[in-house]
Amino acid sequence: MKVRGIRGAITVDSNTKEEVISATKKLLKEMIDKNQVTIDDICFILFSATEDIDAAFPAQAARELGMVHVPLLDFSQMKVKGALKNCIRALMAVNTDKTQEEIKHIYLREARILRPDVSFF
């Protein structure tokens, strides 16, 4: 078994606590479902959010999904001119037997433009 990274991102329609939590839950559920991961398989999750998102921590969504023992970290996304706004990104490290090529990276809503070469949804 190896540790693999699963990338994902989603945009929010508004900077509200409800929208940030809801969007992050949607992203995490897709990452978990499409890669057949259990919570016990997750080593850690790193979340970043663009500077226009400050209503809630994305990690709160993971806690609400039952990830109470998974190490989580929120941080600010680097500010780059012209970059996608209202975006939450995640890097989930998991224990898996899958190869790199079998990992399904999840980019939802407007975030699909970030990695059209690996986006599956």
Please give the annotated binding residues, written as ranges: 7, 89, 107
**Does 120 map to a domain?**
no
Binding residues for prephenate: 7, 89, 107
In a domain, 53, yes or no: yes
For the segment 96-113, what is each residue's pLDDT rounded down to a tens digit?
999 999 999 999 998 998
Does any domain span residue 121? no
Q: How far apart are CA 111 and CA 21, in angstroms?
A: 16
Residue 53 burial by Cβ neighbours in a 10 Å radius (0-12, 13-18, 19+): buried
Query: What range defines the domain where residue 35 resides?
Result: 2-114
Q: What is the dihedral of CA 49, 17, 41, 105, to 10 degrees?
A: -50
- Report the amino acid identity of residue 8: G
pLDDT at 24 over 90: yes
Residue 91 lies in a domain: yes
Domain count, the chain: 1
Tell me the CATH number at 79. Answer: 3.30.1330.40
User: Is 114 a residue whose pLDDT tops 90?
Assistant: no
> Taking the model in full, what pTM does it have?
0.94
